[in-house]
Amino acid sequence: MAKDPVRVLVTGAAGQIGYALVPMIARGVMLGPDQPVILHMLDIPPAAEALNGVRMELVDAAFPLLKGVVATTDAVEACTGVNIAVMVGGFPRKEGMERKDVMSKNVSIYKSQASALEAYAAPNCKVLVVANPANTNALILKEFAPSIPAKNITCLTRLDHNRALGQISERLNVQVSDVKNAIIWGNHSSTQYPDVSHATVKTPSGEKPVRQLVSDDDWLKGEFITTVQQRGAAIIKARKLSSALSAASSACDHIRDWVLGTPEGTWVSMGVYSDGSYNVPAGLIYSFPVTCNAGEWTIVQGLSIDEFSRKKLDATAEELSEEKALAYSCLS
Amino acid sequence: MSSLSLFQRIVIRCGLTSCRSMEKQPVKIMVTGAAGQIGYALVPMIARGVMLGSDQPVILHLLDIPPAAEALNGVKMELIDAAFPLLKGVVATTNVEEACGGVNIAIMVGGFPRQEGMERKDVMSKNVSIYKAQASALEQYAAADCKVLVVANPANTNALILKEFAPSIPAKNITCLTRLDHNRALGRIAQRLNIHVSDVKNVIIWGNHSSTQYPDANHAAVITQAGENSVKELVADDKWLHDEFISFVQQRGAAIIKARKLSSALSAASAACDHIHDWVLGTPKGTWTSMGVCSDGSYGVSPGLIYSFPVTCNKGDWSIVQGLRIDEPSRARMDATAKELIEEKTLAYSCLD
């Protein structure tokens, strides 16, 4: 007997990332090939016709798992009964723009969407914020939707996590599926700290530390970090558009692992509400290594943090505190 | 590695030792026009196993023209960034020989896109020379038994040109996409009957992937708990089936362009995956699909045209569903779309001179 459908909201659904994301959701990439879904798609009135075009295409694709599509410019209708909310809608970053440049435009968006979600989403709705500045948008959303459990509000750093795995796999000339346990600490911005000091590679003779196989700490502490930090900008330079395909795919990975659990022995990176672990200030949305089980994430504890890493963890936390202050100043 | 046929590579198992944990050999899939809209929608679908199954590793070969080289590299970068477990390699190139090298499946998306207001014939001349050149490259460099799906419009005629100029590729391996229209037809019936699309089956798209296509629901069925019922009977409105339903499906591409200001990409890409999936892995029992294939004269359609028929698929081969009763209005429509294809063929050949 088929499962009951899960309602998944995608905001900004008429945009690039939405267009890449919705067919992935409709094919079961996000929740599994046996989980029917109902898509709720929201966008702003100027995009209403394009949004309807996306709805038409979803119907035209005859997806077996897709049990319904709601396409609307009304936040209330969009949020009603949703079990998962993927917040892609926001002001997109253009070539040359830093994330802070788009902050003020997004803060008011996330304040109002917080109210709608809180009032109309299903209980225990899981929220993933993608639109940049992702961490701070998620923080605003949390602050203005106090009845949504803080643990249910997350932001996407899985893209950076996957990029880190990809860079290691290219460097070592191994399959990316054999690399695991990278960590993205902090802000989904250029201060993120891609950390592979605990990452491993599956080899014919067992799991080996990435650090040992790469055998080039200068690269790991230098070029590797900046490549991952700046990858978003590199994509914009090549495509003249933000990452959509990889962002959408990572959003699916984030939700899937959150809901269905991480594999044994593997963690992932998620921007989550800090509880003070690793001396990161509490109350920020900060990316940590997490495992997931029974629909809940848990920060991986007890990882050794060397001096180099400590500085990086603190720098990105500092930026997040600054963003928080900036965001609040936008609200006054 | 590429001497095995696609079908062999998919079913092969190492026979001597227990190998349940051993992965299948990767299948090489080429996508032309990969830096464009449809390509961008298609490649993550392929990389996630939508096309060949969730346990079939793939290697992607992406081809586009030199002005798109940087954008193409951006697509490659994103594919790496997505860390797809099934994606065992990406080749991104503007060199058609490198792109075609050893590929088992070729999805020809590259071509001149249709803009709002353009009819397919408008784009024909631009595409004929593209498909002649790509025919040679495929013939020389692709793996044996490479399966080809032409998506770029005019799809049927591009496929015909490709077939004519790649004579050593078996004609049965060259197809064009009408699965998008087929899926659109299913969706419209489902909407009319207020049921789920997966409970509708066996529509047919006859002919050209153009405004003369004939979406035929005469043999379509609805799956219910109590068995299968005729769509025709359940709709109980032959006038709607003969007029509104047909023009809805025929004009849907234009309707999408009007809404999005861009051609269908998401649904075209998804339909391309469905086409290849069913071709390679077989159609479900009791179900057929629509594919643009080389006509053998079935149903009075001129042999040698690439014409969309109802087909079942098994063991990597398609077969036209035979023996379906064709009423007079259907006959007229089937002939009209065949006539357009013959005209397109003439036009295409005149472009070659």
Nearest Cα neighbor of A40 from A1, A90, A81 is A81
In B, residues 45-64, which contact A (CB 8 Å cutoff)? 45, 48, 50, 54
**Cβ contacts (< 8 Å) between A240 and chain B: which residues?**
71
Higher pLDDT, B206 or A105: B206
| pLDDT tens, position by position, A16-54 | 999 999 999 999 999 999 999 999 999 999 999 999 999
Q: B127 — alpha (psi -120 to 50), left (phi > 0) or beta?
A: alpha
Using CB atoms, pick whichever of A20, A29, A162 lies closest to residue B81.
Answer: A162
Q: A124 — alpha (psi -120 to 50), left (phi > 0) or beta?
A: left
**Is A242 an interface residue toward B (CB < 8 Å)?**
no
Q: With an 8 Å Cβ cutoff, are A19 and B80 in contact?
A: no
What pLDDT sits at residue A93? 64
**Cβ contacts (< 8 Å) between B180 and chain A: which residues?**
60
What is this model's ipTM?
0.96
Strands (E), A135-175: 153-155
Q: With an 8 Å Cβ cutoff, are B40 and A62 in contact?
A: no
Give average pLDDT by consecutive 10-residue segment, chain B, 353 residues.
58 43 89 97 98 97 98 98 98 98 98 73 82 96 97 95 97 98 98 97 97 97 94 97 97 96 95 98 97 98 97 98 97 98 93 79
**Cβ contacts (< 8 Å) between A234 and chain B: which residues?**
77
Q: With an 8 Å Cβ cutoff, are B266 and A61 in contact?
A: yes
What pLDDT sits at residue B116? 72
Mean pLDDT of all residues belonging to chain A: 96
**Cβ contacts (< 8 Å) between A64 and chain B: which residues?**
197-198
Q: Which residues 6+ apart lie within 8 Å of B129 measured at CB?
A: B351, B352
Find the mean pLDDT for residues A240-253.
96
Q: With an 8 Å Cβ cutoff, are A19 and B41 in contact?
A: yes
Helices (H), chain B: 6-11, 37-47, 69-81, 96-100, 120-141, 155-164, 179-193, 231-235, 238-242, 244-260, 266-281, 328-352
- Residue of chain B whose Cα is closest to the Cα of A178: B85
Please provide the DSSP assignment of A181-207 as one string.
Answer: --EEEB-SSTT-EEE-TT-EEEETTEE
In A, residues 182-241, which contact B (CB 8 Å cutoff)? 231, 234-235, 237-240
Q: Which helix (H) or strand (E) holds B166?
A: none
CA-to-CA distance for B325 and B317, rounded, in angstroms? 24
Catalytic positions of B, written as ranges = 209
What pLDDT sits at residue A99? 58
B14 phi, psi to nearest 5 deg: -80, 120
Output the CA torsion sign for A182, A188, A189, A191: negative
Nearest Cα neighbor of A115 from A89, A90, A148, A93 is A148
Q: How many CB atoms are located within 10 Å of the residue A74 CB?
A: 12
